[in-house]
A and B are shown apart, each in its own frame.
Chain A
Amino acid sequence: MSVPEAVSILGPLSLLDYDFMRRALLAALVTGLAAPAVGTYLVQRRLALLGDGIGHIAVTGVALGLLTGWTPVWTAVVVAVLGALLIEVLRARGRTTGDVALALLFYGGIAGGVLLTGLAGNGASTLHRYLFGSISTVSDSDIVTVTVLAAVVIVLAVGLSPQLFAICQDEDFARVQGLRVQAYTVAMSVMAAVTVTVAMRTVGLLLVSALMVVPVATAQQVTRGFRTTLLAAMVLGTVASLGGVTTSFYANVAPGATIVLIALAGFAATWPVGALIRRRQHVTAPFEAAPFESGPFEAAPSGQPAADHRSEVHPHRHGDQCGHAAVVHGDHVDYVHDGHRHVPHGDHYDEH
């Protein structure tokens, strides 16, 4: 008897009568909690697509499992963690920009996965279950692994939130607080990799990033603080994840798509509220008071590359058309701006 027939006879409450559904719902619960928890830090560090990159790399891990007969969950964990560390190294070295590093690994990972799956003699349908999730393939041993891994990630993400928050928000300050920034950064990458693997049975490797990012985007429409965003995103992720798996049971579609669509519907529903709040804030916000010293060097960046003129201070790019007087100054041109002189330096202006 196929699943939809059983439902039509037994009614919706019988969902939990099926062993595979109990496992699928448990997996969905821990995934829904873990993915947005890690995703909050990724969004804060402006690495929202890191989860996607790791997901692609994990495809190779799954394929290795299919090829060798080892459990795909474990091969995926190992490959995803290695991939996440590699991304971190590439980012830290700064040789390749973050998004290019991610792109290289994206395509390497997915191509490797497809090739290895082909070699293993498994067809597209096997891989499909890992790419978009599948409610019927979570085995008993899988569910133990997945639950334990997710629990560790959730405990770390919530328990270390003061430290992780400080690092994501202001890395230099965190360093001067004596935090081992490098170690925490690596830990965050490993947590992201583990989460991707945990989520692959439920939402699938290609859509896992959405479950990490979309609930966070939804939560911050209405939240003002970090902790409330983190917790709200976890609640929203769980709702989407459980709702998606349940829908998938009735509609007989891959759960990944339904989970992501429910999460996106949540975002679409909250966005007008967020827009309204932002508009109200904009109206009530005080005007920026005039600088105390009207002297020439307010908001002056030093020669540090990271120090930019902030956009509210400096809305345009100086040039022939900008109306500011150009002054030849040694080997370059300064622009007179509010009584002081600007000189272009990379993407910002130094003051001379």
Chain B
Amino acid sequence: MTAPTPLQIRDGAVALGGRPVLRGIDLTVTDGEVVAVLGSNGSGKSTLIRAALGLIPLERGDVRLFDVPLARFRQWRRVGYVPQRSTASSGVPATVREVVSAGRLARRRLLRPLGRTDQRLVDSALDVVGLRDRQRDSVATLSGGQQQRVLIARAMAGEPDLLVLDEPTAGVDRASQVAFADALTRVAADGATIVLVAHELGPIEPLIDRAVVVHDGRIVHDGPPRAGAGLHAFHDHAHPEPTPDNSPLGGWSL
């Protein structure tokens, strides 16, 4: 028996506020793959993974996680998510450890304290991102890159089989970039499937098995990553004429 397919989208379409954002999305991510979703701002790449996790409803088409239709999917403990936006600025302070511990929630029963296994995995996630010594500090006192590492540790603490990251390297300092690449290498080495949205790959590029390029709400490339793939490839039109719709690939030749 083959392993279930972690993520499959068939003929997916998404509209936000009545405006179509994604159309005709077919994407299959197989077990153990590391897939980068690339594209310019507004291309719909973040929307794509948010729809894949059920955070945005699909207009049409369907999503399956581990071969189960999204509406019936209950094994959330198998999914880790690193959201894009910084969540540090909530009204009440929270320590680094408290935020990372939330990554164990899908595996916890109601009204039970964190068990020994939970504590150990939180410790090791904090170690991997190099923030163990800051665990008692308020998240708000950390730098942007450190906060992003907290979110990655939170997802890792849940030991996900499928890790989905939305722009994890955006605005991140050098130390955090390196810590992030290390962490991702660890997760990939454990056999987890990784889907990450990025503008550019930087130090994680060697990890990527496959690049999916989203442009103007459609997948325009799905295949091996190209060295040095950056966003400029998709935004290289001459000013002031708009890019013709029939040549969205820019530097990408299929």
Contacts and interface: CB of A to CB of B under 8 A. Distances in A.
Interface residues of A, number: 64
B124 interface: no
B76 A352 contact: no
Contact of A285 (B141, B170, B176, B202): B141
A189 B114 CA distance: 26
Contacts, number: 197
A306 B41 contact: no
A147 to B, nearest CB: 21
B144 A288 contact: yes
A71 interface: no
B210 interface: no
Contacts of A170: 83, 87, 102
A303 B42 contact: yes
Contact of A178 (B16, B106, B110): B106
A312 B144 contact: yes
The secondary-structure label for the interface of chain A is loop
A172 B93 contact: no
Interface string A307-340: 1101011000000000000011110000000000
B240 A176 contact: no
Interface in B24-78: 41-47, 50, 53-55, 74, 76-77
Contacts of A224: 93, 95, 136-138, 141
Interface residues of B, number: 75
Interface in B73-108: 74, 76-77, 79-81, 83-87, 90-95, 97-99, 101-103, 105-106, 108
Contact of A44 (B44, B90, B110): B90
A275 to B, nearest CB: 15
A297 B46 contact: no
B218 interface: no
Nearest to A340: B231
A227 B95 CA distance: 9
A266 to B, nearest CB: 17
Interface string A152-183: 00000001101101101110111111110000
A298 B92 contact: no
Contacts of A48: 91
Contact of B171 (A168, A178, A298): A298
B202 A293 contact: yes
Nearest to B102: A166
A244 B221 CA distance: 68
Contact of B92 (A159, A176, A216): A216
Contacts of A289: 143, 145, 173-176
B41 A179 contact: no
Contact of A165 (B16, B79, B98, B200): B98
Which of A176, A224, A291, A299 is most buried by chain B, counting CB atoms within 10 A of its CB? A176
Given A289-B175, A330-B240, A225 B93 contact: yes
Contacts of B164: 176
A310 B144 contact: yes
A301 interface: yes
Given A168-B90, A229-B92, A302 B45 contact: yes
Contact of A297 (B55, B110, B178, B200): B200
B240 A328 contact: yes
Contact of A226 (B50, B92, B158, B239): B92
A220 B77 contact: no
Contacts of B167: 300, 302
A163 B105 contact: yes
A252 B14 CA distance: 63
A52 interface: no
B132 interface: no
A48 B92 CA distance: 11
A350 B84 CA distance: 15
B177 interface: yes
B248 interface: no
A344 to B, nearest CB: 13
Contacts of B102: 162, 165-166, 169-170, 173-174, 177
Given A302-B84, A351-B41, A292 B92 contact: no
A69 interface: no
B172 interface: yes
Give 3 closest A-B pairs by Cβ, nearest first.
A299-B171, A178-B76, A289-B173
6 contacts: A173-B102, A176-B54, A289-B175, A297-B170, A307-B84, A329-B240
Given A176-B76, A289-B175, 8 more contacts: A43-B91, A160-B111, A175-B54, A177-B102, A226-B94, A288-B144, A302-B84, A329-B240
